[in-house]
């Protein structure tokens, strides 16, 4: 079974940084799951079965956390004892908030037009890519965790926006 003292990076034998070799992680994930998954312990006793489920649960949690760049960044910051303060710290740069309002207006206007929504989604993806590049720099090269936390907060806004576009696309389909 796995070592529950290990953090998610240690679990998969990965360097503790934002830049991630996804293929390497997937390989490690599958290899560990092949060892601990409950399907391997169907015939075992209660205690072993429970340990297997707890291990597999932890491995899934680690994989899910690291796979998504935003949760990965938040996890890295948490390991550095940096709280993103997503609930309390809503003071964002005025310029960014302005852009957010424009985005939202654009999504509302495109509500019933799948093509327009798809185009917005594409543009948003481009903008998010820039923010992620900045996030990687501040986490992996500069060690500027305050700036990284700000990038995370911005990206949380943008992720929510992306979900809203997705929902609108789904509705316009129906």
List contacts with other proteins (CB under 8 A): 30, 33-34, 37-39, 42-43, 53, 56-57, 60-61, 63-64, 166, 170, 173-174
Structure tokens belonging to residue 30: 């599958």
Cβ closer to other proteins: 59 or 139? Answer: 59
Residues in Cβ contact with 34 at an 8 Å cutoff, skipping those fewer than 6 apart: 40
Residue by residue, DSSP assigns 44-58 as S-HHHHHHHHHHHHH
Structure tokens belonging to residue 47: 């205690």
Cβ closer to other proteins: 39 or 142? Answer: 39
Q: How far apart are CA 124 and CA 130, in angstroms?
A: 10
Q: How far is the CB of 159 from other proteins (least distance, A)?
A: 13
Cβ closer to other proteins: 53 or 106? Answer: 53
CB 121 within 8 A of CB 170: no
Cβ closer to other proteins: 63 or 150? Answer: 63
Q: How far apart are CA 96 and CA 168, in angstroms?
A: 23
Q: How far is the CB of 168 from other proteins (least distance, A)?
A: 12
Q: How far is the CB of 151 from other proteins (least distance, A)?
A: 22
Q: How far is the CB of 33 from other proteins (least distance, A)?
A: 6
Cβ closer to other proteins: 146 or 174? Answer: 174
CB 20 within 8 A of CB 72: yes
Q: How far apart are CA 98 and CA 108, in angstroms?
A: 16
Q: 3-class DSSP state for residue 110? A: coil
Q: How far is the CB of 21 from other proteins (least distance, A)?
A: 17
């Amino acid at each position: 079974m796995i070592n529950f003292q290990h953090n998610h990076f240690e679990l998969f034998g990965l360097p503790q940084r934002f830049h991630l070799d996804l293929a390497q992680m997937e390989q490690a994930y599958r290899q560990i799951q092949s060892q601990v998954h409950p399907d391997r312990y169907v015939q075992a006793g209660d205690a072993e079965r429970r340990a297997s489920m707890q291990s597999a649960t932890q491995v899934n949690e680690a994989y899910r956390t690291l796979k998504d760049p935003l949760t990965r960044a938040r996890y890295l910051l948490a390991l550095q004892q940096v709280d993103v303060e997503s609930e309390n710290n809503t003071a964002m740069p005025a310029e960014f908030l302005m852009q957010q309002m424009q985005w939202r207006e654009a999504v509302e206007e495109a509500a019933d037009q799948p093509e327009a929504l798809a185009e917005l989604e594409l543009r948003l993806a481009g903008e998010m890519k820039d923010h992620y590049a900045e996030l990687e720099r501040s986490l992996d090269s500069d060690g500027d965790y305050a700036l990284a936390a700000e990038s995370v907060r911005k990206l949380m806004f943008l992720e929510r926006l992306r979900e809203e576009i997705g929902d609108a696309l789904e509705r316009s389909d129906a």
